[in-house]
Each structure stands twice: as C-alpha cells, then as structure tokens.
Amino acid sequence: MAQTTPETLYLEVARRAGRYAAELATRRVAPSPEAVASLERLDRPLPVAGDSDQSILAELDEVGSPATVATASGRYFGFVIGSGLPVATAANWLATAWNQNAALSVMSPVATRLESIAVRWIRELLELPSGAGGVFTSGDTMANVAGLAAGRNAVLRAVGWDVGRQGLFGAPPITVIVGEEVHVSLLRALSILGLGRDRAVRIATDDQGRMKPNELPTLRGPTIICAQAGNVNSGAFDPLGELCDRARASGAWVHVDGAFGLWARASPKYRTLAVGAERADSWAVDGHKWLNVPYDSGIVLVRDPADLQAAMSAGGAAYLPTSAELDPMVYTPEMSRRARGVDAWAVLRSLGRSGVAELVESACRHARRFAERLEAEGFRVLNDVVLNQVLVSFGPSEDTRRVVQAIQRDGTCWCGSTVWHGTAAMRISVSAAATSDADVERAVSAMIRLARG
C-alpha cells in the first residue's frame, strides 16, 4: 500500500531526521530503559495487508529514534565509532533514492566513478604508493579479509600454487605472523581464509601493545606479516617500517590493519606514528570510524591491484562484461553492492585535506584533555596517550567496572570497558567529528562526579 508520492515521503523523513539531529545536543547518549522496552511495540506478527507509508515512518521515528544509542552525538566515546557527517548522510540518501548497484560501471556509471575517485583521494591522503588501488567494503573486517586473501594467493603463487583453482588442501604452508595484541577482526579474517587463528605465530608486544620486531623468527618460505596501525586499547602502532624492512628482505607480504590508526597519516602532526606503512603490500582502513562516513564503510587497498583482482576472481561468466577498469566487483568478495563510495566522496569533498587533518588532530587534542583532567583528579591513565585512545583506571578493577556502569547509566556520555595488562580500564575513544571542547568538558565533569559519587 503506497499512498504518498516519493517526494512527500522524502520531505517527511528529512523533517524527522532533522529533528532527531537537533535533539542530539540535549538527549541522553544511551537510550532510556523505557525507550528500549517500547521496542516491544514493533514486534507484531507479519501483517497480512500492508500499512501506509506515512504510518510506517511515524512508527519508525516515534518508537525507533528514542531507542537509538546517540552515536551521532559528540559525547559517545565507546568502541571506535564516528558520528557521521551530515553532508554524507544527505549524499547517502540521494544515492539510496537512486538505488544504484555499484558492482559494474554499466550498472551505475556514477556510483563506480565516485568510488574510484574516493579511493584515489584516500590513497593520496594516506600517502600510499601511486600504483596502489582498491575498493570499498562493508568495514575493516572485510577489508582485512580481502587484503589478506590477496596476500595469501600472492605468496603461494610465488611458489607455483594457484589458490583460486586449487584451494588450500595440499598447498605449501604459509607462516602467518601477528602481534600478541592483534585485533580480533584480523584473527577472524585468518579463520575465514583457511589460514587458521591458532596457527598464527604470535609475537610478543611491549607495554603499549607494539610488536617487538626483534622477536620475529627468521623469515623463510611463504610468509604474511599482519601489522597493526592503532591498537584498539592504547592507540599504539606496531613498528611498521622495521617490519616492512624485515619482510622485504625475505619476500614476505605485509598487511596493515589500520582501521582507525592509518588516518594518522593524514595529519602532518601525527604522520610519523605510521611511517613505513607505505612500504607494506596491503592496507585495511575504515571509513565509518575516524573519517566519519556513515555506516557502513571500509576500504581495502593493495600495492598491486592485480593481486586483489586475482584473489577475488570468479573465473568469469558469459553475461558479465570483461572490462575491469571501473568495475569494483572484480576487487571485492561481493557482487551486488551499495554505492558506498558516494558517502566517502561527500565527506572528502566537504573536509578537504586540511579538514581531515583537523579531524585527526582535534580528536587527539580531546583525548589528551580527558587524560589531563582525569589525572589531575587523581585517577590513573594507563597508556601513553599518543593518539585518540585513553585508558583510565578508577582504582581496583571492581571500582573501575562500577564507575563505567554508572557512566553508561547516567547518559551524559558513553564509554566502554576493557582489560589492560590484567586490570579493568575504562576506554575513551575520541573519533566523532561532532565532538566539541564543550562535549569533552561535559563528559569529563560527569565522569569525575560519578567516580567520586
């Protein structure tokens, strides 16, 4: 049942979304328990006859909006989550109204062209090799899967084994090297790719979670080194340059998981943290974290895009065009896909080079401010605050956990908890474009009040 013109419906949703955005400044960050309980109202049997478009939107907004976590606000510091930029949300709506399939340029010249432009801009911002190329994925996890698949196939191709045709049974073994502090997403990628989570060689890390390059074994035979740019707790970086040098000497593949940390390379002030990343072979990075592209958005880049294409190859089908030039499908595990490049293109057009650098630098400034204010109150900061991550202890683990719960319930801001070197810590991740100095003051005052209370 559709009684409304698309134009009326789209104007109505814009009005509702505008009101939602305006209320972010004053609403609580975590939804109230009542708002979450109201979701029960949505849980009815599948209707026999459909309802009107207007009433569907009204219910979605009236029941759904209050039950959101306000991750689009400036006071959400949980996980590593961006707030999204309004211009990208708006661009995303237009692209959704187009309903384009970004698999092939013949299906959508505009979506595929914007995707290749956005990927090129990102490669330039991150100062990766000019020949490198890639595509958008659903996030950093799938970018890890795609980058590691390219590496897996390339290191085995070098010893005469074609993974695409022959599979992995009977293949020469690959040594996969990770740090003790490897992100769970990367382990997941290894398990999906048949490389195994448990057979990876784990390298000891230092007090900040950085791989100790001296602990690397002698590299021989097909080898993949998985380096990390931005530890999810401390923000620290593996010694990327040293790892790449060691790999280069033996022909090993280096993959960099840089979900949020690789963006440090977009700032002249923070670039040195990730120096050497340009010498790796593949890179995974998120759009939806620090770049503040709306969900979902990740990017995989590979030094030689032919390695990515080879790993994703399906062997062809008669009805599919063979020109690979602007066909993102040939570089991803996906076939049909949403026009993710549009959102990222809008963010990059809106921020420019200096705006992305400012996004990185302001988040790092806010993180340092949190650390200073909390330390001044006598609370312990457990990590070197080199980037956007702060780990705070409010005393023994049970006290820290109690304070984190109180902060989550209070609603002024939201932080998660973690375990760092055996003790509980509160994790503050600053990555939202929406975060202002005033948001930081409001949040840190609430933290202090609740920790004292």
139 counts as binding ligand PLP under rule CB under 6 A: yes
- Contacting ligand PLP (CB under 6 A), which of 230, 276, 305, 341? 230
Count of residues in contact with ligand PLP, rule CB under 6 A: 14
Taking CA atoms, 245 is separated from 130, 136, 242, 270, 281, in Å, by 20, 28, 5, 21, 12
Contact stretch for ligand PLP (CB under 6 A) within 98-106, 228-236, 347-355, 416-424: 228-236
450 counts as binding ligand PLP under rule CB under 6 A: no
Measured from the CB atom, the residue of 136 and 253 that comes closer to ligand PLP is 136
- Contacting ligand PLP (CB under 6 A), which of 53, 115, 140, 181? 140
- Contacting ligand PLP (CB under 6 A), which of 200, 232, 256, 360? 232
DSSP 3-state assignment of 340?
A: helix
Tokens of 39: 């979701």
Measured from the CB atom, the residue of 80 and 404 that comes closer to ligand PLP is 80
Least Å distance between CB 183 and ligand PLP?
4
Contact stretch for ligand PLP (CB under 6 A) within 22-30, 46-54, 135-143, 444-452: 135-143
338 counts as binding ligand PLP under rule CB under 6 A: no
How is the beta sheet containing 380-381 ordered, strand by strand? Answer: 380-381, 389-393, 423-429, 416-420
Closest among 216, 211, 225 to 175, alpha carbons compared: 225
Rounded-to-integer distance, Cα 166 and Cα 291, Å: 39
Site for ligand PLP in 152-211 (CB under 6 A): 183, 185
- Contacting ligand PLP (CB under 6 A), which of 82, 179, 209, 298? 298
Label the pairing between strands 282-286 and 253-257.
parallel
Contact stretch for ligand PLP (CB under 6 A) within 123-131, 137-145, 236-244, 310-318: 137-145
Site for ligand PLP in 52-81 (CB under 6 A): 80
The answer to whether 256 and 227 have CB atoms below 8 angstroms apart is yes
Contact stretch for ligand PLP (CB under 6 A) within 17-25, 224-232, 389-397, 408-416: 224-232
Rounded-to-integer distance, Cα 186 and Cα 125, Å: 24
Measured from the CB atom, the residue of 228 and 292 that comes closer to ligand PLP is 228
Contacts 24+ apart (CB under 8 A), 4-9: 4/52, 4/53, 4/54, 6/97, 9/53, 9/54, 9/57
Rounded-to-integer distance, Cα 240 and Cα 324, Å: 32
Produce one character per residue of 149-166: b if its CB has 16 or more CB atoms within 10 Å, e if not: bbbbbbbbbeeebebeee
- Contacting ligand PLP (CB under 6 A), which of 226, 252, 259, 392? 259
**Closest residue by beta carbon to ligand PLP:** 139
Q: What's 64's DSSP letter?
A: I
Contact stretch for ligand PLP (CB under 6 A) within 100-108, 139-147, 194-202, 326-334: 139-147
Rounded-to-integer distance, Cα 453 and Cα 441, Å: 18
Residue listed under structure tokens 């070098």: 158
Which residues of this chain interact with ligand PLP, rule CB under 6 A?
Answer: 80, 139-141, 183, 185, 228, 230, 232, 257, 259-260, 286, 298
